[in-house]
Structure 1
């Protein structure tokens, strides 16, 4: 059986371990390999990379992974390794990806791809010159809720899309009363932290793939909780933003408003929800569910604060059916990317899409600092 050897860097972290190693690569391995259109299967063989030898050894033993290393250069020098994947902290990613490209490896990476748009564009140029297949994780597009939302968009259900409203977030504990459920580097700007850099990269690809490219941004990034406690229980100053409130102008005059916060308590069905309103219908999509209401069954409420509202507004919305078996979104994109590597064709979610994401994050922070609308220019190599 053919095989493809993949170096996975950052598997000791939460996302790298759970979503990329266990639920994607090992799941593909345990299914007998990657299924190809011609009926063949290509097995995947992971090589675990990281800085903590003890953690790597433990993960390898628990999951029957034969190869692991703390030496990035040695792994990249191995001709048997075809693909390098990066889920490290943002501050270390650009250097490692550059080394992998120079070693002739195909690359697949979490986002942001770099700490600056200049760095992200440099990676894209380098990958193009090297002729390798590069991909950036766009996991939100593969969520069941957003797949159903895409179905509505592509069917013309909304008519003319007018607006998009998104709410994302939850309360991340400061670390004193209860341990924080996110790593402390997320709250230090000097380590590449901040919710604007993290989430505006996501919202850029969600908006441009479902509704249209982002042409302008007005944002306010704030640090609501200035003091937190790290993994060892030591207090530290939070230097990165923990909430960003942003408005975007998209192609076609669509207005999108998305709040991203690690300082909110959830009173909605899911941790992220998007409401899309159009001339012919509206929908609300979360991680898994999507409900919609057409123009023909939209109620006609009248504002009267002196009387209780008679309508049950939620009752008039219809559940969008699955109509498919939804696999783990990270795994599905891994399979798409690996098929592109084997076929020698570009991956649709490439390093330029990653650069547009960090570009929007930078411009959002610029807008916040200058308290003004900022145009989003086209990027090119």
Structure 2
């Protein structure tokens, strides 16, 4: 596990996924056997790795990635490093014959991401990319509605994502400073457009075109040492995506917006037969038979409580942590050859959309998104 000293790698992948599996007694493979994950922590900071290992009672950690990859007892390489370091490390893991699972984006360029997918296929290893939002309770409920035909013909998808990330001067920032420096691989497009690609692709259809406008709303921020720096990366992106089948998606992504919605991300889907609003956990619907008939009259105050006219979609089941759920699927894929479709090719599609989104913003035009040939 390379990069677990970072916030996401530590909290979601190590603590809430693999260590949680160990707390539960391992992963039941359904045939009387149990898979027991044994994490090997890898990183550059020896003191941080030692502290994590001691905190969680783990035996294995190293600052020498090459030595770890040379160990035949280690079967899977996981990468949650900063994006700029990912390609080289994943190539090494593929060359060493390890199965690969990694965070997104899988590369700093489309060419690099495609090369990783092709190298992994040629090596005959199992490979995957984290696509955690597909496993959120709210989006699982939304998928249930789509597959059940609730919407009729889907017309549009509108997404709002983001929150105010403090500048770092009078309150510390909630995200690392490299996120706001383009030269270090930062930017909200390269971070979030890969997410929007797989969410749209899996639930509503392949993205056929993109038109984006980006902005750096906060031009100066303060780093972890309290020093000011120029924010050179985009901190907001406003995207329009044409989907296969004719639906139109509009998604706003921003680290310079104050939240006036129920959850940090929400998607509204409108169809001929009904609509839904889904967030991280909740999902509300309004069927056409229960749709009110508002009349525009700016001279009178609104008489309808519009939010109260929507119905909550029940859980109808238990939802596990999304990162852990996908880890379990990947481990089953490696050990049992269970079905798996979120490979490095899917990761490359996310990088492609981010790259074309930035190109669209730079050139001020709509750009077609061709199907990738891997």
For Structure 1 versus Structure 2, the TM-score category normalised by the shorter chain is over 0.9
Structure 1 position 376, deviation (Å):
0.2
CA deviation map 1:276-318 (0-9, x unaligned): 0000000000000000000000000110111112111111111
The answer as to 2:104 corresponding to 1:104 is no
Counterpart for residue 5 of structure 1: none
Counterpart for residue 40 of structure 1: 33
CA deviation map 1:198-246 (0-9, x unaligned): 0000000000000000000000111111111111111111111000000
Q: Residues 133 and 346 of structure 1 are in contact (CA less than 8 Å); yes or no, is this contact kept in structure 2?
A: no
Q: Residues 164 and 274 of structure 1 are in contact (CA less than 8 Å); yes or no, is this contact kept in structure 2?
A: yes
Structure 1 unaligned regions, length at least 5: 1-7
3-state SS, counterpart of residue 9 of structure 1: coil
Any residues of structure 2 matched to 1:283-294 within 5 Å, and which? 283-294=276-287
How many Å separate the matches in 1 of 2:344 and 2:358? 21
Counterpart for residue 14 of structure 2: 21
Counterpart for residue 53 of structure 1: 46
Further displaced range: 188-197 or 308-317: 308-317
Q: Residues 158 and 281 of structure 1 are in contact (CA less than 8 Å); yes or no, is this contact kept in structure 2?
A: yes
Structure 1 position 167, deviation (Å):
0.2
Counterpart for residue 374 of structure 1: 367
How many Å separate the matches in 1 of 2:138 and 2:114? 31
| Residue in structure 1 matching 2:204, options 207, 211, 222 | 211
How many Å separate the matches in 1 of 2:81 and 2:28? 28
| Residue in structure 1 matching 2:298, options 295, 305, 310 | 305
Counterpart for residue 225 of structure 1: 218
The answer as to 2:174 corresponding to 1:181 is yes
3-state SS, counterpart of residue 215 of structure 1: strand
How many Å separate the matches in 2 of 1:39 and 1:334? 20
How many Å separate the matches in 2 of 1:71 and 1:44? 20
Q: Residues 138 and 349 of structure 1 are in contact (CA less than 8 Å); yes or no, is this contact kept in structure 2?
A: yes
> TM-score normalized by structure 2?
0.99
> TM-score normalized by structure 1?
0.97
Counterpart for residue 4 of structure 1: none
Counterpart for residue 89 of structure 1: 82
3-state SS, counterpart of residue 367 of structure 1: helix
Root mean square deviation, CA, Å: 0.8
Q: Residues 133 and 345 of structure 1 are in contact (CA less than 8 Å); yes or no, is this contact kept in structure 2?
A: no
CA deviation map 1:135-191 (0-9, x unaligned): 000000000000000000000000000000000000001110111110011011111
Structure 2 unaligned regions, length at least 5: none
Structure 1 position 347, deviation (Å):
2.7
How many Å separate the matches in 2 of 1:39 and 1:248? 47
CA deviation map 1:309-347 (0-9, x unaligned): 211111111100001110100000000000000024563
Aligned pairs, number: 374
